[in-house]
Chains A and B, each alone.
Chain A
């Protein structure tokens, strides 16, 4: 009796997952489901492209120079985002504001460049209805752009908090905003070669 009761009746400290902030767990799960959404698009695109020939011709019309420029812009914005997060850790008040502002600026730069690309493509007569490549191109870059816009809005709210000084009570949020921002960046890292370089 002693032995059986002994094993089952201790209060065990199981800290598995418990030392992770709830927001971080939630955000990672959110990102996992987002990865499945973009994963779905990318898989469909790759399979279609593999199954049907002749997409190279359509793909030759995208502007790889502007695409490359945007890749550089977005990668740089990830760097500034990390620096903003680093400034939180080192309690650098000016750094947080500067780097968040830079990240927002780079995000807008990306969207503006993308806008010029869309404009040029529409002017040449390429629309989402000009064949499957273009349908995929506009759908995937469009949704990516919307995600980036959401990231910009998140960063603007973080910047507002930084201006008011309230961010120091919610330091995690810079990390969470950063995770989301890097996710949007990583999606682009997949989209860029698939749409521009193949």
Chain B
């Protein structure tokens, strides 16, 4: 069985393409369809998340005025909206976008497999997430509205309904988040098993494209960090619904700080769960549009693994002013500042990849490089916040808000958009429009910076986050113009997404037909049809090369696909064991 032909046979027999609309597009087990479902879901949730940003910013710039298209934002509504904005953007936009959509679409294609290891589990994970989204949306319509205790749901605010006036909203929030976790646990197990187990012959771990590594490490981080928060969610739900007092110090001696520990033990690795796939997308795109190998492949992988380990030891930097033992501040400051080293390695590796390259500023590259540049600001301000002394002043201000938007937006949104522009030809078989893409990038890049640089300044001026009306405080009167600038830029940012929407649907219907490999890229997804057929590859895949062999002056062309045999070698000989044998489960 140890020949390439055995995998060729297995490719076709794994699961038959079903006919019928429901089987093909709704309850599909094909990883490519599921990936698109994740994409649609995240784009849909982004509409709600974007609308909430609009309401928040309008209220902050022009407090208690009529918001066009909505009405007045009441204080209680404001609390609910900021809570839902954070929850939706982190759990229902960023994660399905960079993990769900790109992880599902690309991991099997990039490792040379015909599908995920567990296609039905994969389908279950997208439908669990859909139910979870529906529960979250339903919470808008229950009496007293959705959760209003912040996206971090800090106890005791979240532990007793009386504090926020929200009962069912917060309960449904907990249910929705728990289902979301279940969904991504299923997805993560699939990612791991597929990337470890279903690699094509020759696709060694050190030949995996970096995006696969990043999705893999993100999946491990999620699997190992979310458990304690699931435990915490059980306790919080009991506190709310049964009247226990795990997080409330009223009778049994519970402790609100415990929730913060559980939340951030998950919450910090979660940042990297979202961030690493964004990095991975950039690392795929930058070599292609620089026509150079990525700089320091192994260093990036080891650095990321180091960051992954460290990410479990930094959570209390979110809690410097929480009332925890202040002696903990120094060790957590040290680990936090230490973790900037692997991220600096990743950033510098990408910059070094650009160095001396034949750079082509196509839209995917613009988003990748633009995201990289903006991420640096987020990374550097993270060092500010990691030092406990400075954090005592900046904690809970708009500086923090600006900081985390500067880390998550470049990785999840810029990175995600870069990925959409780059893999759209593979997903839909047509090219996206470059002009509209560049307009989209220009709006996004300029407006994004105009939103959040003013917010750094208001934060330094001591403007607390999560307050309904900044102008009610005398000492903040001076920063009001900055809020107006940020809000106008937010409007620009939202309007700037229209070219993307138009481009997306127009290109899907009428874009220029893309060939198999429109970017002359090396990784395996480009050596099959666009879009790939059911089962992904029509011929057996054998990998001979590293993923980033670009611009080798000794070669006749400046790219070498991973499955391109060396000159003089016929592909059938030099192959390894089949990657399809273990599907039956018998040994």
Contacts and interface: CB of A to CB of B under 8 A. Distances in A.
A12 B202 contact: yes
Contacts of B118: 22, 26
B356 interface: no
B227 A40 contact: yes
B243 to A, nearest CB: 6
Contacts of B234: 139, 143
Interface stretch (A63-71, A110-118, A129-137): A129-137
Contacts of B192: 25-26, 29
Contacts of B574: 10-11
B230 interface: yes
Given A25-B196, A35-B227, A129 B242 contact: yes
A121 to B, nearest CB: 15
A10 B544 contact: yes
B201 A8 contact: no
Interface string A30-63: 1011111111110110011001100000000000
Contacts of A48: 253, 255, 258
A21 interface: yes
Contacts of B207: 12, 14
Interface stretch (B145-153, B273-281, B575-583): B575-583
Contact of B262 (A22, A44, A132): A44
B88 to A, nearest CB: 24
Contacts, number: 168
B117 A26 contact: yes
B198 interface: yes
B587 to A, nearest CB: 6
B205 A43 contact: no
B204 interface: yes
Contacts of B243: 129
B340 interface: no
Contact of B586 (A29, A39, A172): A172
Nearest to B575: A11
A130 to B, nearest CB: 8
Interface in B365-423: none
A165 to B, nearest CB: 15
A132 B245 CA distance: 7
Contacts of A35: 227
A139 to B, nearest CB: 7
A22 B199 CA distance: 12
A15 B545 contact: no
A11 B201 contact: yes
Interface stretch (B32-40, B73-81, B218-226, B529-537): B218-226
Contact of B223 (A9, A10, A22, A29): A29
Interface residues of A, number: 51
B585 interface: yes
A18 B579 contact: yes
A48 B235 CA distance: 14
A11 B252 contact: no
B586 A14 contact: no
B226 A14 contact: no
A37 B585 CA distance: 28
A16 interface: yes
B230 A40 contact: yes
A18 B193 contact: no
A20 B231 contact: no
Interface in A122-159: 128-129, 131-132, 135, 139, 143
Contacts of A4: 552, 554
B576 A132 contact: no
A164 interface: no
B543 interface: yes
A35 B227 CA distance: 8
B188 interface: yes
A17 to B, nearest CB: 4
A5 interface: yes
Interface string B178-206: 00000001001110110011110111111
B230 A132 contact: no
Instruction: Summarize B's interface: helix, strand, loop or mixed.
Output: loop
Contact of A40 (B190, B196, B262, B554): B262
Contact of A132 (B226, B253, B544): B253
A1 interface: yes
A172 B585 contact: yes
Contacts of A13: 201-202, 576-577
A73 B579 CA distance: 42
B228 interface: yes
Nearest to A130: B252
A20 B197 contact: yes
B69 interface: no
A172 B587 CA distance: 8
Given A33-B223, A129-B242, A40 B232 contact: yes
B231 A12 contact: no
A41 B225 CA distance: 13
Contacts of A21: 582, 585, 587
B238 interface: yes
Contacts of B246: 44, 132, 135
B223 A1 contact: no
Contacts of A12: 202, 204, 207, 576
B238 A139 contact: yes
Nearest to A42: B231
Given A5-B554, A25-B196, A36 B225 contact: yes
B549 interface: yes
Interface string B233-266: 0110010001111100001111100100010000
Nearest to B252: A132
Interface string B556-583: 0000000001110100001111010011
Contacts of A44: 228, 231-232, 235, 246, 258, 262
Contacts of B579: 18
B546 interface: yes
Contacts of A172: 585-587
20 contacts: A4-B552, A11-B574, A12-B204, A12-B207, A13-B202, A14-B202, A14-B203, A18-B197, A18-B582, A22-B117, A22-B585, A33-B227, A40-B228, A44-B228, A44-B235, A128-B242, A131-B252, A132-B254, A135-B244, A139-B244
Closest 4 CB pairs of A and B: A36-B227, A40-B228, A14-B204, A40-B231
Given A14-B204, A23-B585, A52-B253, 12 more contacts: A9-B565, A11-B565, A11-B576, A14-B206, A18-B582, A22-B582, A26-B117, A26-B190, A33-B227, A36-B228, A132-B245, A173-B585
